[in-house]
C-alpha cells in the first residue's frame, strides 16, 4: 500500500498536463469576460473577526505606610466593599476588585484603616476615572474594560490614583 503523499505525487504527475491545460483555459475565460479574481482581504474594523472572551473592570488598592496599630483595611469600589486583615510588619497590602464589564468609567472609591478595637484610624473617599483600557478580543472588538491602580497611604490617609 502506498502512503498518501506518494499517491498524491503519482496522481499529479499523471494528470499534470490536464491540470495545466484546465488552468490556462480558466484564465482565458476570465480574461475574455473581464472577470477578475477576488481582491485580497484587508484587515479593517468592519471585517475583523472577534473572539468572545469577556473581561471585567478591575480596581487595585495598594495600601502603603501601614501604621503599627492598623489591623483591618476596608476598601470600597462602586458600592462593593472588602474588609481584609493587614499586618504592619509586611509594610503594605494589595486588595483587588473585579467589577462587571459594563461598570461606568467614573466610580466612587474609598479606603479606611481600623485598629484592633475597630476604631477608624484614617479614611478617604473620592471619585476616580478608570484609565487603562483592556481589549481582550482586539482593539476593534467588544467588550472594553478598564482598570485603575489606587494608592492609599496609611499615615496620611490620602487615597490617590497611581499613573
User: Confidence band (pLDDT; 50, 70, 90) for 160?
Assistant: very high
C-alpha distances (whole Å) from 81 to each of 4, 88, 112 are 64, 21, 11
> Among 84, 128, 67, which Cα is nearest to 103's?
128
The span from the CA of 128 to the CA of 160, in Å, is: 9
A 10 A CB-CB count for 147 gives 19
Q: The domain containing residue 11 runs over which residues?
A: 1-37
Q: Which residues 6+ apart lie within 8 Å of 135 measured at CB?
A: 141, 144
Query: Domain check: are 21 and 71 in the same one?
Result: no
Average pLDDT over residues 96-114: 86
Element containing residue 15 per DSSP (H, E): helix 4-32
Query: Domain check: are 75 and 2 in the same one?
Result: no
Query: Domain check: are 69 and 7 in the same one?
Result: no
Global model pTM greater than 0.75: no
Query: What's the CATH number where 106 sits?
Result: 2.60.40
Q: Is residue 64 part of a domain?
A: yes
Query: Domain check: are 64 and 97 in the same one?
Result: yes
User: Confidence band (pLDDT; 50, 70, 90) for 47?
Assistant: low
Q: Is residue 13 part of a domain?
A: yes
User: Confidence band (pLDDT; 50, 70, 90) for 117?
Assistant: very high
Beta strands, E only, the chain: 57-64, 70-77, 80-85, 92-99, 106-115, 120-129, 132-134, 145-153, 159-161
Query: Using alpha carbons only, what angle is made at residue 28 by residues 26 and 33, rounded to the nearest 5 degrees?
Result: 100
Looking at residue 41, its pLDDT comes to 46
Query: Domain check: are 32 and 72 in the same one?
Result: no
The 3-state DSSP class for residue 50 equals: coil
Looking at residue 55, its pLDDT comes to 86
Q: Which residues 6+ apart lie within 8 Å of 137 measured at CB?
A: 50, 51, 52, 53, 143
> Among 73, 156, 162, which Cα is nearest to 114's?
73
User: Confidence band (pLDDT; 50, 70, 90) for 75?
Assistant: very high
Phi and psi for 57 in degrees, rounded to 5?
Answer: -70, 140
Whether the pLDDT of residue 137 is over 80: the answer is: yes
Query: Domain check: are 85 and 136 in the same one?
Result: yes
Domains of the chain: total: 2
Amino acid at each position: 500500500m502506498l502512503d498518501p503523499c506518494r499517491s498524491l505525487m503519482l496522481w499529479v504527475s499523471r494528470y499534470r498536463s490536464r491540470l495545466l491545460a484546465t488552468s490556462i483555459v480558466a484564465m482565458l475565460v476570465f480574461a475574455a469576460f473581464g472577470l477578475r479574481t477576488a481582491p485580497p482581504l484587508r484587515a479593517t474594523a468592519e471585517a475583523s473577526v472577534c473572539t468572545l472572551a469577556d473581561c471585567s473592570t478591575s480596581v487595585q488598592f495598594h495600601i502603603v505606610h501601614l501604621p503599627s496599630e492598623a489591623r483591618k483595611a476596608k476598601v470600597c469600589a462602586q458600592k462593593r466593599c472588602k474588609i481584609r486583615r493587614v499586618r504592619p510588619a509586611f509594610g503594605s497590602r494589595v486588595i483587588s476588585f473585579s467589577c462587571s464589564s459594563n461598570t461606568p468609567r467614573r466610580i466612587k472609591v474609598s479606603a479606611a484603616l481600623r485598629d484592633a478595637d475597630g476604631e477608624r484610624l484614617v479614611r478617604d473617599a473620592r471619585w476616580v476615572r478608570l484609565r487603562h483600557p483592556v481589549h481582550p478580543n482586539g482593539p476593534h472588538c467588544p467588550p472594553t474594560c478598564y482598570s485603575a491602580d489606587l494608592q492609599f497611604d496609611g499615615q496620611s490617609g490620602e487615597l490617590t490614583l497611581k499613573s
